Amino acid sequence: MGKPSLDEFRKWLQSEIREIESLEVGPNVDKRLLQLEMALQEAMAFNAAWNIRTEASITPVIQEKAVRLLSPSPEINNDSGPKGICGSCEAEIEDDLPFCPVCGDNR
Ligand SMILES: [Zn+2]
C-alpha cells in the first residue's frame, strides 16, 4: 500500500467532515468539525507552500522528527478524557485515536 499521499489525507478529512456533519449538533461535534476543517486548511496551505518552493527550485524543508507543539491547546490538561503518549514524538493522544495526530504513527 505504501504511505498515504497528501491527496488521500485531504479526501479522508473531507469524508470525516461529511460524516461529522450528519451527526447531531453538540459541543463535541463542533470541536471535531473545527479540528478537521483546520487540518484541511493546513493541508491545502502546505500543498500551496510546497508547490511555490518546488517551482522556485527551493528544496522544501521537511523536519525529520516531529516537533512538539509549542502552545498546547488550553483544554489539553483539563482531564477531558484519558490520554496516551505517542511513542515516536511524545505528543499526547486521545485514547480513542488509533494513531498519533501529530506524527501519524500507528499506536
Ligand atoms: Zn507522534
Q: How far is the CA of 55 from the centre of ligand 1 (A)?
A: 30
Domain coverage including residue 85: 64-107
Residues 10, 56, single domain; the answer is yes
Instruction: Tell me the pTM.
Output: 0.48
- What cell does 78 get? 483539563
Query: Residues 5, 32: one domain?
Result: yes
33 in the same domain as 6: yes
* 18 & 40 share domain: yes
**Ion ligand 1: protein residues whose beta carbon lies under 5 Å:** 86, 88-89, 91, 100, 102-103, 105
Chain segment 30-55, per-residue pLDDT in tens: 889 999 999 999 999 998 988 888 88
- The tally of domains found in the chain comes to 2
Local structure of 33: helix, strand or coil:
helix
For 84, the 3-state DSSP assignment is strand
Do 53 and 73 fall into the same domain? Answer: no
Domain match, 47 and 4 both = yes
Say yes or no: 10 and 51 in one domain: yes
Q: 53 CA to middle of ligand 1, Å? A: 26
Query: Residue 61's pLDDT is what?
Result: 66
